[in-house]
Amino acid sequence: LRGTADLVLCYHGGDLRLRGYSDVDWASDRDGRKSTSGYAFILGGGAISWSSKKQTCIALPTMEAEYVACSAAVQEAVWLRRFLQRLDVTAHSKGPVLMYCDSTAALAYVRDPKYHGKTKHIDVRYHFIRDMVARGEVILHHISTGMMVADPLTKPIARDVFLSHARSMGLCRI
């Protein structure tokens, strides 16, 4: 934090399409083995919503942790989209929210809801994500780990990578 005291949020206008990034640090809690979820939503060149939280459940595979994180991010995406629609801030708010996740396995599980023995224990509440994708409120895309803007919200990363992601979230030096 010492090196970030002079960072502030800056909005540049420009792209007014809401974009969300969801990431996880699997089993990062050394004692309880719970994962850390993070998401960031960008609008107008700056972050308008972000979160970093320890998950309430222990995820067995990495895919499950990513799926749980993405589900929480999609809940926020739907709320933000409806909020922006009510404000009538941008014409883009009428379209689906673009969401990015760096887990191909989690994205495959969203798109293929068939029963799998390794995923039968996943709580129904996390399947909200499938409904929102099916209804067209959210479009999920894969993004490489190196481009994952939400990375700093889940784990320690190299300074240059942190600064790159901070710029992507609209943080600039004062």
- Here the CATH number for the domain that contains residue 39 is 3.30.420.10
Model pLDDT, residue 139: 94
Per-residue pLDDT tens digits for 130-172:
889 989 999 999 999 889 999 999 888 888 898 899 999 999 9
Q: What value does the mean pLDDT take over residues 13-22?
A: 88
Per the listing, tokens 């090196």 go with: 3
Which domain covers residue 63, as residue numbers? Answer: 2-173
Per-residue pLDDT tens digits for 35-52:
889 999 999 899 999 999
In whole angstroms, what is the distance from residue 174 CA to residue 172 CA?
Answer: 7
Instruction: Give, in order, the Cα–Cα distances in Å from 48 to each of 37, 39, 60, 81, 129.
Output: 17, 11, 31, 12, 21
Q: Specify the pairing of strand 36-43 against strand 46-54.
A: antiparallel
Q: How many domains are contained in the chain? A: 1
Which of residues 92 and 79 earns the better pLDDT score? 79
Per-residue pLDDT tens digits for 90-138:
776 778 999 999 999 888 878 876 656 565 556 556 678 888 998 999 9
- The pTM score is 0.86
